Structure 1
Amino acid sequence: MSGDGLLVVRCQLGEREAFRELVRVWHAPLWRYVRGMVGSPHLADDLSQEVWVAVVRGLPRLRQPERFAPWLFTIARRTVADHLRQAYQASETSVEEASALADDDSLRDVLTTMQVEAGLDELPPLEREVLILFHLQDLPLAACAEVLGVPPGTVKSRLHRARRMLRSALAEKGYEA
Structure 2
Amino acid sequence: MQPEVEQELIRKCRAGDPRFYEPLVRAYEGPAMRVAVGMMGQPDDAHDAVQEAFVKVYNSLGRFDLKRPFGPWFFQILRNQCRDMLRSRQARGRMETVDERLEFRPADEATGPERIQQKSAAREMLWRGLERIGTEHREILVLKELEGFRYNEIAEILEIPEGTVASRLFHARRALKEALQGMGISYP
Specify the TM-score bucket, using the shorter chain as the normaliser: 0.7 to 0.9
Q: 1:24 and 1:120 mapped to 2: Cα distance?
A: 28
The 8 Å contact of residues 6 and 65 in structure 1, kept in 2 or not, is answered as no
Say whether residues 1:43 and 2:42 are aligned partners: no
Instruction: Tell me which residue corresponds to 2:164.
Output: 154
Q: Which runs of 5+ in 1 are unaligned?
A: 89-96
Equivalent in 19, 26, 37 of residue 21 of structure 2: 19
Deviation at 1:70, TM superposition (A): 0.7
Instruction: Tell me which residue corresponds to 1:92.
Output: none
The 8 Å contact of residues 39 and 82 in structure 2, kept in 1 or not, is answered as yes
Amino acid at match of 1:3: Q
The 8 Å contact of residues 35 and 143 in structure 2, kept in 1 or not, is answered as yes
For residues 3 and 17 of structure 1, do their structure 2 counterparts lie closer, same or farther at Cα, with a shift above 3 Å needed?
farther
Amino acid at match of 2:72: P
Matches within 5 A, 1:73-84: 73-84=75-86
Instruction: Tell me which residue corresponds to 2:130.
Output: 120
Instruction: Tell me which residue corresponds to 1:29.
Output: 31
Deviation at 1:59, TM superposition (A): 2.1
Deviations 1:1-45 (A, max 9, x none): x61441342232136554222222210111111111111111111
TM-score after normalising by structure 2: 0.76
The 8 Å contact of residues 51 and 76 in structure 1, kept in 2 or not, is answered as yes
Q: Which runs of 5+ in 2 are unaligned?
A: 100-118
Greater displacement, 110-119 / 25-34: 110-119
Instruction: Tell me which residue corresponds to 1:110.
Output: 120
For residues 107 and 71 of structure 1, do their structure 2 counterparts lie closer, same or farther at Cα, with a shift above 3 Å needed?
closer
Give percent identity, aligned residues only. Answer: 30
Q: 2:62 and 2:177 mapped to 1: Cα distance?
A: 42
Greater displacement, 41-50 / 19-28: 19-28
The 8 Å contact of residues 33 and 133 in structure 1, kept in 2 or not, is answered as yes
The 8 Å contact of residues 43 and 96 in structure 2, kept in 1 or not, is answered as no
Instruction: Tell me which residue corresponds to 2:103.
Output: none
Instruction: Tell me which residue corresponds to 1:3.
Output: 2
